[in-house]
């Protein structure tokens, strides 16, 4: 069956007692044993829960992986992956990663628990130069947050395998419907399920999907040991959101393309970042490895920080808020919001300038989104800067 059909049917086989169409919420901490040493597959919800398992099976199936774990947040997913590896490993990470990922990796490096190098992973020569004897992981986002840079996953995974390294892909900006990193050889895929997979801004969650049974055994052990697993109700909310993911994604992308084209011709916009535009430097790679361009758009404005503040205060449909991937459109300033914890020199190296704005384009009427941005951008750069 096609993914759209599989998602519509997701979780329907969870309830063997009453055959409910909607998967039940097993909101329980513990399960009764059938006899000494004998259960029906579950004993304690940290180790396993039917509602969580339903979500994990759907995600593993969509990604083509051997197993998955649903976690309490996207950052819990990142932490769980890092906990799968021994003390003192070296991680090569995309230089333009999410601010929370950079914050955690830098913290662990300061604590002496791992080593990290931040590298532009579009440049495989730079990646090769960063390899050390203890390098174990290449961590990549494509599209990246917030500049939507595209990394050639096929080339990166072949490079990693040649150097006996594992590839971890944060696929949060897309979804398994738009990009399946394991098809190109990625070993681990990470999500903040808070975003597109849930899609309704009413849950905090994450997920880790692994390609092999060996990695799945490690993942399940670590998630149970660290207790980073998601609760039943949160998993149920993500399952519910997944059922409408295909139709939501289509509208997100339709609106994002319209917004990107509008911004690209606006006189107060300096530069637009959207892989769906032919002018985007990663457009051809994105078109080859993705089944869509997503709902995220970033742009630089003319007029400096004063212009940024004017726009952020002026929108009526776009809400000033962090996060992304919900049905509602959001606008944010990476330098002071989503990436504020990133060291200034790291932001500068990644190209996250003060005049950069990030949009999570929702599913509202396209014309309303364009009109909202048009009125917000109706300023004279010199006047605003003064």
Cβ(205)–Cβ(198) below 8 Å: yes
Cβ contact 310:71 at 8 Å = no
Cα–Cα distance, 381 to 364 (Å, whole number): 29
CA distances from 226 to 67, 177, 192, 209 (A): 18, 30, 18, 17
Residue 3: closest CA among 215, 249, 360, 192: 249
Residue given tokens 């004017």 in the structure block: 310
- Given a contact cutoff of 8 angstroms between Cβ atoms, the answer to whether 326 and 345 are in contact is no
Residue 23 CA, distance from chain mean position: 25
Residue 82 phi/psi, 5-degree rounding, is -65, -30
Measured distance CA(307)–CA(302) in Å, rounded: 7
Distance CA 376, CA 311 (A): 5
Give the residue numbers marked as catalytic.
46, 98, 170, 195
Cβ 81 vs Cβ 168: under 8 Å: yes
Q: What angle do CA 181, 71, 202 make, to 5 degrees?
A: 100
């Amino acid at each position: 069956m096609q993914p759209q059909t599989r998602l519509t049917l997701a979780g329907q086989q969870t309830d063997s007692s009453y055959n409910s169409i909607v998967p039940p919420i097993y909101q329980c901490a513990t399960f009764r044993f059938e006899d000494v040493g004998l259960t029906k597959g579950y004993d304690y919800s940290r180790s396993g829960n039917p509602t969580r398992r339903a979500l994990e099976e759907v995600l593993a199936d969509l990604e083509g992986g051997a197993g998955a774990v649903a976690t309490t947040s996207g950052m819990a997913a990142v932490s769980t992956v890092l906990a799968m590896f021994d003390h003192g490993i070296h991680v090569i990470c995309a230089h333009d990663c999410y601010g929370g990922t950079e914050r955690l990796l830098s913290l662990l490096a300061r604590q002496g628990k791992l080593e990290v190098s931040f590298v532009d992973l579009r440049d495989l020569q730079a990646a090769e130069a960063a390899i050390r004897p203890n390098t174990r992981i290449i961590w990549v986002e494509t599209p990246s947050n917030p500049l939507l840079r595209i990394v050639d996953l096929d080339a990166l995974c072949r490079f990693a395998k040649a150097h006996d390294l594992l590839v971890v892909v944060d696929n949060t900006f897309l979804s398994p419907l738009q990009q399946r990193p394991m098809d190109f050889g990625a070993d681990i895929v990470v999500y903040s399920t808070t975003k597109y997979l849930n899609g309704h801004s009413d849950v905090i969650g994450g997920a880790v999907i692994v390609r092999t049974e060996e990695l799945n055994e490690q993942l399940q052990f670590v998630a149970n040991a660290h207790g980073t697993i998601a609760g039943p109700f949160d998993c149920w909310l993500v399952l519910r959101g997944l059922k409408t993911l295909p139709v939501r994604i289509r509208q997100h992308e339709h609106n994002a393309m319209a917004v990107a084209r509008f911004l690209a011709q606006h006189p107060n916009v300096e530069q637009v970042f959207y892989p769906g535009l032919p002018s985007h430097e990663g457009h051809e790679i994105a078109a080859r490895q993705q089944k869509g361009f997503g709902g995220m758009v970033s742009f630089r404005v003319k007029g400096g920080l004063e212009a940024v503040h004017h726009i952020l205060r002026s929108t009526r449909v776009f809400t000033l808020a962090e996060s992304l991937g919900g049905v509602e459109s959001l606008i944010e300033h990476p330098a002071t919001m989503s990436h504020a914890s990133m060291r200034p020199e790291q932001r500068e190296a990644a190209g996250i300038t003060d005049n950069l704005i990030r949009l999570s384009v929702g599913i509202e009427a396209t014309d309303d989104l364009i009109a909202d941005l048009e009125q917000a951008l109706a300023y004279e750069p010199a006047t605003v800067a003064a």
